[in-house]
Amino acid sequence: AARYDVVIVGGGAGGIATAASILKRDPKLSVAIIEPRTEHYYQPGWTMVGAGVFEPKSTCHSMASVMPKGATWIREAAQSFQPEQDQVTTANGRAIGYRALVVAPGNVLDWDAIDGLAATLGQNGVTSNYRYDTAPYTWELVRNLREGVALFTQPPMPIKCAGAPQKAMYLSCDNWLERGVLNNIDVAFHNAGGVLFGVKDYVPALMGYVERYGIDLNFESTLIAVDGAAKTATFREKTGEVTRAFDMIHVTPPQIAPRVVADSLLADKAGYVEVDQVTLQHVRYPNIFGLGDGGSTPNAKTAAAARKQAPIVAVNLLSVLKGGEPVAGYDGYGSCPLTVEKGKIVLAEFGYGGKLLPSFPKWLIDGTQPARLSWLLKSEALPWIYWNGMLKGHEWLVKPQPIERARQAA
């Protein structure tokens, strides 16, 4: 069987960044990335695609082009894990051995959990920014809508980028306000959860926009069915089921752990890779690490989190390969740039326990307030940093901190 020093499962944000980080630190190691897709997506850009700000193509590069120099790309899906034998088996039945393993398969969008959704997504006014091929449809619906009912939904946690359901809504409302049609559109947010945003410091600024746009907020209201032809959506609420007619609906799908992990010895109860939340090392297998949306760590599932986690996994994995212990720690940093209007963002940045972890001094960017500079960060700087920094192993502003410091912060 083929055998590598390091095998990485998943060539998404976390997997590629970790491979690049490891190879930058030790180019002599043999590193293989198991990833079936031929495209790599910058998913944070899809919010901007849905608002007509980014071209869809700018969010997609070929997988070949993001593979770090020196890494071997195994173009297959991982099918099962044999951690006792230091081995991964692919969908084609190939066994691949490793000295250390990184598991980063993201999470899975569970479209089928909502009755009728998969059949009608992308038509009949039913859209989602959570897919490359439907994010442009959001923009088509928004710019053509002049009156009627627009619904935006948020499923139970955990989801990737918990702010994205709201971002789609605010940017749509901003367009309708600008075109003078917002008064003719009933906008409602249906959130399975009980609060607008999980970290309370950001809620006042968001509530300001909810009021400005006249949004009807519904909490503990979970989308369970969509009928595209009839243009109705059904929600489960405390008092029973409610069916509403819509002209457009933006759906954020429920999200679950990938089966390949959930069915393996690596999983926690929820099916995610069970790692220590500070060292990102697996709690039962010291030569296995997990990061990104597929990890069990209770941070905000964002590319921003993966950007901070990747160098920590790299440093700790290299230490373990040399017979040592993990040395670097993760404080739970994640970031959610909430696009409250075209040109302004509430830049949520926080770690474990909702502790605010701003990257900038308050005089430059106060994350709890809408700011133009944050919009420039999201629209100009972050995509560039993603493609040219994070995926290339350039770790600007993400120096791994010692474990003790991260534990204190966490």
Q: How many CA atoms lie within 13 A of 150 on its CB side?
A: 31
336 noted as active-site residue: yes
For residue 164, state whether it binds ligand FAD (rule: CB under 6 A): yes
For residue 153, state whether it binds ligand FAD (rule: CB under 6 A): no
> What's the rounded Cα separation, in Å, for the pair 386 and 42?
8
Q: Tell me which residue of 333, 348, 329 sits closest to 408, measured CA to CA.
A: 329
For residue 47, state whether it binds ligand FAD (rule: CB under 6 A): yes
Q: Could you count the other beta carbons within 10 Å of the beta carbon of residue 38?
A: 9
For residue 104, state whether it binds ligand FAD (rule: CB under 6 A): yes
Q: Tell me the residue type at 317.
A: L
For residue 44, state whether it binds ligand FAD (rule: CB under 6 A): yes
Could you say which of 22, 29, 32, 34 contacts ligand FAD (CB under 6 A)? 34
Name the minimum Å distance from CB 276 to ligand FAD: 17
Q: Could you count the other beta carbons within 10 Å of the beta carbon of residue 408?
A: 11
Burial of 41 (0-12, 13-18, 19+ CB in 10 A): middle
Name the minimum Å distance from CB 342 to ligand FAD: 15
CA distances in angstroms from 15 to 74, 82, 150, 373, 399, listed in the order given: 13, 19, 37, 29, 18
CA distances in angstroms from 143 to 55, 173, 177, 182, listed in the order given: 15, 10, 11, 12
Which of these segments, 34-42, 213-221, 263-271, 275-283, binds ligand FAD (CB under 6 A)? 34-42
Q: Which residue is nearest to ligand FAD (CB)?
A: 12
Could you say which of 22, 31, 32, 46 contacts ligand FAD (CB under 6 A)? 46
Q: For residues 104 and 278, which CB has a smaller minimum distance to ligand FAD in the complex?
A: 104
> What's the rounded Cα separation, in Å, for the pair 84 and 288?
11
- Sites for ligand FAD among residues 76-95 (CB under 6 A): 77-78
Strands (E), 113-230: 126-127, 148-154, 185-191, 216-219, 222-227
Which of these segments, 42-50, 149-157, 273-281, 401-409, binds ligand FAD (CB under 6 A)? 42-50
> What's the rounded Cα separation, in Å, for the pair 15 and 124?
36
Name the minimum Å distance from CB 77 to ligand FAD: 4
Q: For residues 43 and 175, which CB has a smaller minimum distance to ligand FAD in the complex?
A: 43
> Is residue 336 within 8 Å of residue 348, measured between CB atoms?
yes
Which residue carries 């300001």 as its tokens? 208
Binding track over 105-144 against ligand FAD, x by CB under 6 A = xx----------------------xx--------------
Name the minimum Å distance from CB 128 to ligand FAD: 8
> Is residue 345 within 8 Å of residue 336, measured between CB atoms?
no
Q: State the catalytic residue, choosing from 336, 345, 348, 403.
A: 336
Q: State the catalytic residue, choosing from 161, 192, 320, 340.
A: 161
- Sites for ligand FAD among residues 248-307 (CB under 6 A): 258, 260, 292-294, 301-304, 306
Binding track over 350-389 against ligand FAD, x by CB under 6 A = ----------------------------------------
Q: How far is CA 9 from the centre of its chain?
A: 17
Name the minimum Å distance from CB 243 to ligand FAD: 26
Tokens of 161: 């980028």
Q: Could you count the other beta carbons within 10 Å of the beta carbon of residue 96?
A: 22
60 noted as active-site residue: no
Which of these segments, 40-48, 118-126, 170-178, 227-235, binds ligand FAD (CB under 6 A)? 40-48
Which residues are known to be catalytic? 161, 336
Q: Which residues bind ligand FAD (CB under 6 A)?
A: 9-15, 34-37, 43-44, 46-47, 77-78, 104-106, 129-130, 160-161, 164, 258, 260, 292-294, 301-304, 306, 335, 337
